[in-house]
Amino acid sequence: MTARDHHALDLRRRHPVTKLAGVTLVVVMALVVVRWWVLVLVLTAMLALAALQPRPGAVPAPVRTVAAAALPLGLLGGLLQLLVGADPGTAAQLAARLGLLTAAGVLFGLVTPAIDLMTAAAQLHLDPRIGYVLAGAVALLPRMRERARAVVDAQQARGLGLRGGPVRRWRSLVSLTGPLLLAVFVENEERAAALATRGFPGSGRFVPYRSVPFTAVDATACGLIGSALVVVVLLGVLGALG
């Protein structure tokens, strides 16, 4: 494999639209293809693709994250079907389907920064409100986790017990949720005022500050994925995948 090929397979460099097209193809295959071994082959190819992705910083390698999410759910699905008397082929089909659906979603999330998704949405003239909410939620998650930890620590310092009977645990949950919601509303006030001052969402066309390039590699990939999608759907309609 040449360095250029490797560059083409680095999914972080691909446009979000290309990646969404890929996810769509995988989802359609997972739902339309009946032969379990075909689905297992596609799942293996996805894991191989995940293995080719560079590991950003100190986080686990993408292939480990994808495998850790997809394989247990797939195996659980297959085992449960066997337990209720399904034939091994159907159980394997469901296992592979669950694995594929999960792997596609997890890999997309790992290789698509929220800011790229928001920029791509703006480039496609999607309502800026949707882009704001999607990117805002992804960006807020780590901060909210930190805040939740701080609330738990503070309440425990005041004597809140997290163990005991169901009623006590339920009370503890209310004691933790209240301060968390209060902090959200206080922050929300400031953010709403800041956005209103800037005229968000505005009535004109939203021009993103940065851009995500749609390269020739993306165009080629989208063409190939689109063609594959047509073939899979046609074969499915003709019953050739059954």
Partner 1 sequence: MSASSPENPGSVADQVLVGTGVATVVTTYLTLVLWRPGGLDALAGPAAALALVGNLTGAVLLLLGTVRRLPTSTLVLIPSAIAVNVVVGQLVAVVGLPLYLDSIGTIAVAVLGGPAAGMATGILANLVWGVTLAPVAVPFSVSAATIGALAGLAARLGAFRRIWLAPLAGLLTGAVAALVSAPVAAFVFGGVTGGGASALVAAFRALGSSLLTATTLQGLLQDPLDKAITFTVAALALSGLPARLWRRFPFARRYATLPTTDRRSRAVSPPR
Among 44, 188, 220, 227, binds partner 1 (CB under 8 A): 188
Under a CB-based contact definition with an 8 Å cutoff, are residues 241 and 34 in contact? yes
Contacts 24+ apart (CB under 8 A), 45-53: 46/100, 46/103, 46/104, 46/107, 47/103, 49/9, 49/11, 49/107, 50/103, 50/107, 50/110, 52/6, 52/9, 52/10, 53/10, 53/11, 53/12, 53/107, 53/110, 53/111
Residue 101 engages partner 1 in binding (rule: CB under 8 A): yes
How does 109-146 read in b/e, with b if 16+ C-beta sit within 10 Å?
Answer: ebbbbbebbbbbbbbeeeebeebbeebeebeeeeeeee
Please say which residue, 4 or 205, places its beta carbon nearer to partner 1. 205
Residues 199-218 within binding reach of partner 1 (CB under 8 A): 200-201
Residue 94 engages partner 1 in binding (rule: CB under 8 A): yes
Among 162, 224, 231, 240, binds partner 1 (CB under 8 A): 162
Among 18, 53, 112, 119, binds partner 1 (CB under 8 A): 112
Of 24-32, 38-46, 204-212, 218-226: span binding partner 1 (CB under 8 A): 24-32
Residue 143 has φ and ψ, to the nearest 5°, of -65, -40
Among 152, 217, 228, 229, binds partner 1 (CB under 8 A): 152
The site that binds partner 1 (CB under 8 A) totals a number of residues, namely 74
Of 1-9, 43-51, 181-189, 219-227: span binding partner 1 (CB under 8 A): 181-189
Please say which residue, 5 or 189, places its beta carbon nearer to partner 1. 189
Letters for 46-75 (x = contact with partner 1 by CB under 8 A, - = none) are -----------------------x---x--
